[in-house]
């Protein structure tokens, strides 16, 4: 099965989808092949310490009902937990060099990233404290987030 679309410019001619599994048995079977399933499969299969076989079961290779297709595709670093900040940074770096990270295959599209910020607003002291604490965590992880005062926002965005 191949994905179909009116706009075929994104299509890849890769023999990745098959109606029947290639092997009789698998070490890992992943149910759902959208972003989580595909990433899990790819990272597992590309790990040199993993010697097993991976099967991804996906009934809809067009991903028409998957959340992945509906996503805004934003990768942020505004998290309270350092691990999540680092995951966001890793994801951005991975997508920035997508083709290279997937082995350099020319059939893999280069993905473009548009950089713009998230603006978290607070209207009370308690939330401001939480945002300040989170921002310190993000800064320690090397994220470029910063606190901005109301006047600074008004000056930067006068509309």
Ligand X SMILES: Cc1cc2nc3c(=O)[nH]c(=O)nc-3n(C[C@H](O)[C@H](O)[C@H](O)COP(=O)(O)OP(=O)(O)OC[C@H]3O[C@@H](n4cnc5c(N)ncnc54)[C@H](O)[C@@H]3O)c2cc1C
Task: Write down the least CB distance from residue 34 to ligand X, Å.
Answer: 3
- The reply to whether 73 sits near ligand X by the rule CB under 6 A is yes
For ligand X, what does the binding mask look like between residues 127 and 156, x meaning CB under 6 A?
A: ------------------------------
90 closest CA partner among 150, 43, 38, 148 = 43
Residue nearest to ligand X (CB): 32
Beta pairing class for 28-31 and 54-57: parallel
Alpha-carbon torsion, ordered 84, 36, 118, 136, to 10 deg? 0
Count CB atoms within 10 A of the CB of residue 118. Answer: 9
For ligand X, what does the binding mask look like between residues 28 and 67, x meaning CB under 6 A?
A: ---xxxxxxx-------------------xxxx--x--xx
How far apart are the C-alpha atoms of 13 and 36, rounded to whole Å? 22
Task: Write down the least CB distance from residue 92 to ligand X, Å.
Answer: 11
14 closest CA partner among 78, 107, 123 = 107
Out of 1, 21, 62, 71, the only residue in the binding site for ligand X (CB under 6 A) is: 71
Out of 5, 8, 19, 74, the only residue in the binding site for ligand X (CB under 6 A) is: 74
Q: Which residues bind ligand X (CB under 6 A)?
A: 31-37, 57-60, 63, 66-68, 70-74
């Amino acid at each position: 099965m191949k994905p179909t679309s009116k706009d075929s410019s994104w299509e890849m001619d890769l023999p990745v989808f098959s109606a029947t599994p290639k092997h009789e048995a698998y070490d890992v079977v992943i149910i759902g092949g959208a972003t989580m399933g595909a990433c899990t499969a790819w990272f597992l299969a590309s790990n040199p310490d993993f010697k097993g076989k991976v099967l991804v079961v996906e009934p809809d290779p067009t991903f028409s009902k998957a959340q992945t297709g509906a996503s805004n595709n934003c990768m942020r670093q505004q998290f309270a937990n350092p691990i999540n900040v680092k995951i966001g940074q890793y994801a951005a770096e991975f997508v920035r060099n997508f083709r290279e990270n997937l082995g350099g295959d020319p059939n893999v599209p280069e993905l473009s990233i548009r950089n713009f910020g998230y603006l978290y607003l607070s209207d009370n002291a308690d939330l401001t404290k939480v945002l300040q604490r989170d921002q310190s965590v993000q800064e320690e992880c090397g994220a470029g987030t910063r606190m901005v005062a109301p006047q600074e926002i008004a000056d930067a965005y006068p509309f």
